[in-house]
Amino acid sequence: MNKAAILKRILEIIPGGLSWSIIISLIILSFLHPVSSAIIIISFDFYWIIRTLYLTTLLVMAHARLSRQRNEDWLARCLNLPANLGFSELYQVVIFPVYNEGLEVLRPSLEALSRSHYPKEKIILVMAFEERNKQAHDLALILEKEFSGRFGAHLSTFHPDGILGESRTKGANATWAAKMVKKFLDTRRIAYEQVVVSCFDADTCVDQEYFGCLSYHFLTSDKRHQASYQPMPVYNNNIWQAPSFARLVEISSSFCQMIESMRLEKFVTFSSHSMSFKTLVQIDYWPTNMISDDSVIYWKGYLYYNGDYRVIPLYVTVSLDVAYSSNIWRTMVVQYKQKRRWAWGVENFPFVVNGFIRNKQISLFHKLRRSFHLLESHVTWAVWAVILIVIGPLPIFFGGAFFSQTAIAYNLPKITGLLFKFTLFTSLTWIFLSWTILPPRPKGISWFKHLFLILEWIFVPFIILIIGSAPAIDAQTRLMLAKYMEFNSTLKGNKVL
């Protein structure tokens, strides 16, 4: 094993090792020194309450921005921009990497795209199929026929299986498609600077104003090519049909993304996103051997531009499918696997730190800061629910007779309970906001479901336990043990699969 490989392994071990160390040491401490354990737990509880209040405030702010900006006529604003900014020459390339999704998923995405409040002749649609998918050519033909003439161009690409150095990932498919687009643009003599590329999950239904908003921000931003553009993902496509469990998880995911959009210094691309095609070519496209291509593409840009690369939040929504299945157990499994795939973003840590070690231009402060943010976010994800729910009561159970007679043993459950009452306020805020981002109730769905959508929040503690830390611990442990994950498309769809 050479030095680089050893370093990579060490970096892969760090997040999981840290998470497990925290969990195990707190459990041991609960037995050996319950007073110290109780002090740590109370401190963590208090930290968590403050953090929740802080993040909920950010969520309210992000929600206010979303409410205001999503209804703007962005196209009109683009048309009013000075001509030298080049709106008339701007092209939108939209890539939909398709794994094994069928027409019931793809058709609504293209319908939504065709309803965009944006000049369609400027949209280049790319349906990126996998060659190994036997249905791919048939699907491509059907969609080309159905949507012919609705966009400036409609390309279907077929990513060959087994290219050397590639894994079976979405990024490999998207990269293949982007290379085909490059050839297409070269043929049409369209400059890469004039092209914005969006890579969407197959189930992404864009808001009508999305491309207007994207174009406006792209054209008016400083160093427009040194930025990715991130819409707010909401899971509205099938939210009225999805079971409570899955719905709550996805609403929480949307909220987390909205909160992240307020923390620009930590903001990283996630899921469907857009960027300059010129930059995409310069940084050699999406990674072809990593699952978390959506976030790694940001880090590639960050390293390429020596830290002068950012993510600009777009307060318009892209709507995706809630991942669920035919019964609650299978839904839990689907959700767990999806969250584990998201948590696999921990593979960014060795990638980024390796990049930082090689890069001599980025300041040490920024390197440390970004590395810490990345590590802290993944470790916190893995341990917080375990500390709050599992380790929290341990000193009481295992502290012994002496500890049970101490003031801190008596006060621990009281203080924890009191602190968590504060989170009721934040929960009420989340409930209210979740209600406001719901799409209109479809015909045939009872008004009673509105009430149910509020009451279902009482399940949150159980969901936290299952979907909170477990997938992150799982992903980090796999990375720690070099049991690398393979890409698996999440079961999605408007119909129950």
Partner 1 sequence: MLNFQKTRGILFYLSVFIFFIGLPFILSFALGYKFNQHSLKFVKTGLIFVKTQPAGAKIYLNGKLTSEKSPASMQELLPGTYKVTLELAQYYPWNGQVEVEAGRVSRVDKVIFFPVRPNLQQLNQEKFSSFRIDPEKKTIYYLDQEKKALYRSNLEANNFEDLVSLPDKFSQINGWEVSADQKKVFIFNYHQISVIFFDPRLDDEYASSIVFLDYPQEKVVNVFWHSDSYHLVVLTNKHVQVIESRLNAAPVNLVELNKEGSAAFYDTKKDALYFSDSQRDLEGNFYNNLYKLELSTNLYSLEKLISQPFGQVKPLEKKELRE
Contact residues for partner 1, defined by CB under 8 A: 38-39, 42-43, 46-47, 50-51, 53-54, 57-58, 61, 65, 262-264, 405-412, 415
Question: What tokens appear for 450 in the block?
Answer: 């509105």
Measured CA to CA, the distance from residue 19 to residue 378 in angstroms comes to 9
Measured CA to CA, the distance from residue 464 to residue 59 in angstroms comes to 19
Q: Would you put residue 190 in left (φ > 0), alpha (ψ -120 to 50) or beta?
A: beta
**Three-class secondary structure assignment of 139-153:** HHHHHHHHCCCCCCE
Q: Minimal distance in Å, beta carbon 408 to partner 1? A: 5
Q: Minimal distance in Å, beta carbon 470 to partner 1? A: 27
Q: Minimal distance in Å, beta carbon 312 to partner 1? A: 9
Greatest Cα-to-Cα distance within the chain, rounded to the nearest angstrom: 80
| Nearest C-alpha neighbor of 234 from the set 377, 439, 69 | 439
Q: Minimal distance in Å, beta carbon 43 to partner 1? A: 6
Q: Minimal distance in Å, beta carbon 383 to partner 1? A: 18
* Residue 60 or 383 with smaller CB distance to partner 1: 60
* Residue 50 or 451 with smaller CB distance to partner 1: 50
* Residue 103 or 262 with smaller CB distance to partner 1: 262
| Nearest C-alpha neighbor of 165 from the set 175, 156, 157, 177 | 175
Measured CA to CA, the distance from residue 17 to residue 131 in angstroms comes to 39
The string of DSSP codes covering 347-405 is: GHHHHHHHHHHH-SSS-HHHHHHHHHHHHHHHHHHHHHHIIIIIITTHHHHHSHHHHHT
Q: Strands of 195-199's sheet, edge to edge?
A: 153-159, 123-130, 91-97, 195-199, 273-276, 227-234, 310-319, 205-206
Q: Give the 3-state secondary structure of residue 318.
A: strand
Q: Minimal distance in Å, beta carbon 112 to partner 1? A: 27
Q: Minimal distance in Å, beta carbon 467 to partner 1? A: 26
* Residue 412 or 467 with smaller CB distance to partner 1: 412
| Nearest C-alpha neighbor of 320 from the set 491, 146, 124, 127 | 491
* Residue 237 or 274 with smaller CB distance to partner 1: 274
Amino acid letter, residue 127: M
* Residue 268 or 463 with smaller CB distance to partner 1: 268
* Residue 415 or 497 with smaller CB distance to partner 1: 415
Q: Minimal distance in Å, beta carbon 223 to partner 1? A: 15
Q: Is 84 exposed, middle or buried (0-12, 13-18, 19+ CB in 10 A)?
A: exposed
* Residue 372 or 410 with smaller CB distance to partner 1: 410
* Residue 326 or 405 with smaller CB distance to partner 1: 405
* Residue 45 or 293 with smaller CB distance to partner 1: 45
Q: Minimal distance in Å, beta carbon 366 to partner 1? A: 17
Nearby residues of 296 by Cβ (< 8 Å), 6 or more positions away: 171, 286, 287, 290, 347, 348, 351
Question: What tokens appear for 343 in the block?
Answer: 């948590």
* Residue 192 or 315 with smaller CB distance to partner 1: 315
Q: Minimal distance in Å, beta carbon 380 to partner 1? A: 15
Q: Minimal distance in Å, beta carbon 250 to partner 1? A: 25
Measured CA to CA, the distance from residue 61 to residue 122 in angstroms comes to 33
Other C-beta atoms lying within 10 Å of the C-beta of residue 199:
30
